[in-house]
Amino acid sequence: MIKRLRCIEIVSVRYWLTLGLMLIYFEPALAATPWQNDWEQTLRAARKEGRVAVISDATTDVRDALTGPFTEKYGIAVEYFGVQGREIGPRVGAERKAGQYLWDVYIHGTTTGLTVMNPMGAFDPLEPALISPDVKNPQNWRNGILEFIDPGRRILVTTARQRGTIFINSELVDSKEFKSYKDLLNPNWKGKLAMDDPSRSGPGQATFTFFYLHPELGVNFIRALAKQEITSLRDYAQEANMVGQGRYPVLIGTADFAVIARARQGVPVKIIDPRQLKEGSDVSSSNGNLAVFNRAPHPNAAKIYANWYLSKEGQTSFARASGYVSSRLDVPTDHAEPWMVPIPGAIKSYGTEALEIRQKVEALVKEVFR
């Protein structure tokens, strides 16, 4: 009887040891969570689709950042269309009227998204496309939130940052001359200033929205500035070049990435540090906002791409290429100017509230800059 019991004990021990080893061996499969299963199924379907179509910024560095790393990681080709925001609506609108639904992912400005694409009904709510817990975790994002700017939660801000607003030819102008935007009213600058056209969406309009909203500037400042005989321009690269050539020693409200690019090429252009200006600068969402198109031709690839873009890897790739500051807290900022990191409480020149103000800004600048 005792021998029989010992045999049973030995068999029992071997059974549990074997079962334990099996649990260890198969632990990854057993531990798979619903989101991981969802991810794997979506990724398999995305690879069958074979490509993802992305509309974003026209600069080469951004194109490279938003295509190569993703394709290398997932084996999915990126069909990339680089364009200025104001060109997206007419193109996509015409395509949709013709029954063509060609695009999956939008990475661009809030103004175009809110005023053109949302009214067109082009985007789906974004949250159902977010699979990774890392992406959805609000603790990974500035201010502890994923910042959607529309009630339908279709457009997500990923690169909110302080913006450069005054730009100079560093060989002709001493940056120390500017301590306030009111220094632009100095009679010495009359006829020597240029600006990005504030009557249409873009950095010029964002700058004048900031002027309008700032309690120490406002309408009176804009009216006074209009008396300086400012030349209005409509091409970011041209604006940066004209300042670098000295045709206009001071420029107001262009796309700061265009000036940064020229400065890296040795062109004598410089951004006035907003921290030295009494009124600071506005917080802009720039061109890094994310949305996914409805009726997308590659819906699974769109989900994989959106999650990659919002990951630390995707945000780091985009931030370094664009020079922006990611809203993800774990993305390095050593590539960007220190003044770009958002200041709590700074005026925002994006979002639905700012857009409501912009209608007043448009009417004002059309009146005073005739």
28 domain-assigned:
no
Q: Per-residue pLDDT for 4 more than 90? A: no
Summarised one tens digit per residue, pLDDT across range 203-260 is 999 999 999 999 999 999 999 999 999 999 999 999 999 999 999 999 999 988 889 8
Summarised one tens digit per residue, pLDDT across range 5-40 is 344 444 444 544 444 544 444 444 445 689 999 999
CB within 8 Å of 62: residues ≥ 6 apart = 56, 82, 318, 321, 322
Between 60-74 and 34-49, two packed helices, what is the crossing angle to 10 degrees?
Answer: 110
| Range 324-337 average pLDDT | 95
193 domain-assigned:
yes
Strand ordering across the sheet containing 123-124: 77-82, 51-56, 105-108, 289-293, 123-124
Do 262 and 313 lie in a common domain? no
Q: How many residues does the chain have?
A: 370
The CATH number of the domain holding residue 269 is 3.40.190.10
Do 212 and 155 lie in a common domain? no
Do 202 and 245 lie in a common domain? yes
For the chain, what is the domain count?
Answer: 2
349 domain-assigned:
no
Q: Per-residue pLDDT for 125 more than 70? A: yes
Supply the range of the domain harboring residue 79.
Answer: 34-159+286-335
The pTM for the full model equals 0.81
7 domain-assigned:
no
Residue 267 carries which side chain, given as an amino acid letter? V
Do 175 and 260 lie in a common domain? yes
Which tokens go with 203?
């950095």
Do 146 and 277 lie in a common domain? no
Residue 215: half-sphere exposure toward Cβ, Cα within 13 Å: 1
N- to C-terminal Cα separation, the chain: 109
Summarised one tens digit per residue, pLDDT across range 52-99 is 999 999 889 999 999 999 999 999 999 999 998 889 999 999 999 999
Do 142 and 47 lie in a common domain? yes
Which tokens go with 89?
């609506």
Do 221 and 240 lie in a common domain? yes
Do 229 and 106 lie in a common domain? no
Mean pLDDT of the chain: 91
- DSSP state letter for 249: S
